[in-house]
Structure 1
Amino acid sequence: MRNGASRGLDELAQVAGKIRGAVESVIEGKPDAVRLALTVLLAEGHLLIEDVPGVGKTMLAKALARSVDGSVRRVQFTPDLLPSDITGVSAFNQESRDFEFKPGPIFANIVVGDEINRASPKTQSALLECMEERQVTVDGTTYELERPFMVIATQNPIEMEGTYPLPEAQRDRFTARISMGYPDPGAELEMLDVHGRSSPLEGLAPVAFSHDVRALIDVVRQVHVAQGVRRYAIDLITATRRHPELRLGASPRATLHLVRAARALAALEERDYVVPDDIQALAVPVLAHRLLPTAEAQVERRLPEQVVREIVDRLPVPTPHR
């Protein structure tokens, strides 16, 4: 059993390394962002990339999508986008004299949603069932979505003109949120050399197949999480619900996403078990976007990220004997 797990982790490391290398050939100077995106993919999650325009949000999403030879669809979210433009619609066929379903762009292995918070809340909510249950219901009929299924959405900060804040239920379905940030001068100089002539996405070829990703996801599911580490994750989640500066703590779904992502991160480290460090490394990207600060905390400009870091710093770490 142990040898089988070891072979699975070796294969995961090889395939994941190829995907990471392909994405990093397009995204310069952001290894942590690329690593987290890959972690979310292997955790069967969804990724929210939030930052100001022009820092590579869409480029990261497209690079990850093109690195895997599966079906990829892109949706540009705009204020006039309708829910049926995403999920699909039943249309009357004149020849058969019956209604037939025309699938929308959500029927893909990787769906890139660009500027998701420029669409109306009604259209944003069309993704809720898709992201959580991997299925779409249109006119009373349910259609399954093929594995792997991942939504990579980009959004601009809510203070940007023409944006609608994502509702709490929508944010809670994203496994992790990352901010790209501005590149350092060296990476930006290299970007001018590489991107100045042509888009590196044009030469990006797939390095893995969708069935490879399905196999890696099955390997991640076998990663062991000790009872002490599980309790540590729950203690961390519970602390967000009791924190005086938060009016909305993390949900039970957040607990599941945190542990699943920790399994994926451990597998990327070629370990078949999760350690507390995995939980700590993922706490901010997995939890912060789900939390709502109190009015007093907002006045003091206290961010949920700061609260999560403080909780992690003061929470006792389980020992191997606990």
Structure 2
Amino acid sequence: MTASTSTSVPARDAIASAVVGRDRELNLMLAAVAAGRDILLEGPPGTSKSTMLRAITEHWGVPFVLVEGNAELTPARLVGHHNPARVLQEDYSAENFVPGPLVEAMQAGGFLYIEELNRAPEDTLNTLLGAMAERAVTVPRVGTIKAESTFRVLASMNPFDNIGTARISDSVYDRWNRLAVGYQNAAEEADIVEVRTGSDDRTLVDDAVALTRATRVHPELRRGSSVRGAIDLVAIATELAKLDAHQDREHVVLDSALLSLSARIGMDEASESTPEQVITEIWENHFFSSAGGQRRDRTA
């Protein structure tokens, strides 16, 4: 494979055209992967982490191999296994070895991307770290498999979610270049929503983004919604308005917000409110508080 890993300005601009904002993060990511390094992306969901990586691999012309980190991601699932039926007939051989995502990415010179790295078992991470250090893995009865030059190991983790996760050891962190990725600003999130929904109603888009961003700072929530909540809110509100032409705009937004945001927020353990109550409060503050006073005349 002869994929180029250069990061000239034209190449960078071509990749950036597929991403909304993220100039600094994209530059850092391009610099790291062009230098042959692996990256751990740390931040909440819905912050364009995989979008940036897909844009790079598409421009380089290399595979993007996605793996979900969870308790079932064993070393055998990650590296590969021998086909049981063929083993019974032929005994173990290199020919009946079925590559897992790690070997697949190594042989194709692709990017292995592990979502939610901190949900994977420790012994699986140890297998992964060996491949990162040596750019090769040794498979029993197959031999040593070496990676192509464009092979990279990328991973993500959400530092704000501790349910079903494990602490990442210092030895694991020592193998990665860590990039913290936060939420984008309101204007960039609105641009993302417009692109993803195709909506030309900027007022609706701005309302959806404002409500979604408000969930991230509400005192009764330990987790707010990603921009995916705003994307779904706009899509649902657009269709809901067609179904019920008599419902006012503000209540179309409220019903859509309740549907699109309630599963994406996490209540604080000390709160006695429900997700619906918090979303309704955010909606009321947005449309009817003094900050939104320009709307009060319409709905009075």
- Please tell me whether the aligned partners of residues 43 and 157 of structure 2 are also in contact (alpha carbons under 8 angstroms): yes
In structure 2, what residue type is equivalent to 1:146? E
CA distance in 2, matches of 1:73, 1:34: 19
Q: Over aligned residues, Cα RMSD in angstroms?
A: 2.4
Question: 1:90 offset after TM fit, Å?
Answer: 3.0
- Please tell me whether the aligned partners of residues 5 and 150 of structure 2 are also in contact (alpha carbons under 8 angstroms): no
Which residue does the alignment assign to 1:74?
Answer: 66
Which residue does the alignment assign to 2:93?
Answer: 99
Q: Deviations over 1:219-262 (max 9, x none)?
A: xxxxxxxxxxxxxxxxxxxxxxxxxxxxxxxxxxxxxxxxxxxx
Question: 1:132 offset after TM fit, Å?
Answer: 0.7
Which residue does the alignment assign to 1:36?
Answer: 28
Matched, 1:112 2:113: yes
Which residue does the alignment assign to 2:215?
Answer: none
Question: 1:169 offset after TM fit, Å?
Answer: 1.6
Structure 1 vs Structure 2: percent identity of aligned residues? 28
SS of the aligned residue for 1:28 comes to coil
- Please tell me whether the aligned partners of residues 86 and 104 of structure 1 are also in contact (alpha carbons under 8 angstroms): yes
In structure 2, what residue type is equivalent to 1:79? A
CA distance in 2, matches of 1:30, 1:16: 18
CA change 1:121–1:197 in 2 (3 A) is: farther
Aligned residues: 186
- Please tell me whether the aligned partners of residues 43 and 182 of structure 2 are also in contact (alpha carbons under 8 angstroms): yes
CA distance in 2, matches of 1:96, 1:63: 42
CA distance in 2, matches of 1:82, 1:43: 29
- Please tell me whether the aligned partners of residues 21 and 188 of structure 2 are also in contact (alpha carbons under 8 angstroms): yes
Matched, 1:84 2:80: no
Question: 1:12 offset after TM fit, Å?
Answer: 8.0
**Superposition misfits of 4+ residues, deviation over 6 angstroms:** none
CA change 1:151–1:185 in 2 (3 A) is: same
- Could you tell me the TM-score, scaled by structure 1's length? 0.53
CA distance in 2, matches of 1:142, 1:12: 25
SS of the aligned residue for 2:182 comes to coil
Question: 1:96 offset after TM fit, Å?
Answer: 3.9
CA change 1:153–1:18 in 2 (3 A) is: farther
CA change 1:152–1:18 in 2 (3 A) is: farther
CA change 1:135–1:12 in 2 (3 A) is: closer
Which residue does the alignment assign to 1:54?
Answer: 46
Q: Deviations over 1:90-110 (max 9, x none)?
A: 335255444332221113221
In structure 2, what residue type is equivalent to 1:143? I
Question: 1:159 offset after TM fit, Å?
Answer: 4.7
Which residue does the alignment assign to 2:133?
Answer: 132
CA change 1:180–1:22 in 2 (3 A) is: farther
- Where relative contact order (Cα < 8 A, 6+ residues apart) is larger, the structure is 1
Larger radius of gyration: 2
SS of the aligned residue for 1:106 comes to helix
Q: Deviations over 1:108-153 (max 9, x none)?
A: 2211111111112122222011111000122273211111111111
Unaligned runs of 5+ in 2: 200-300
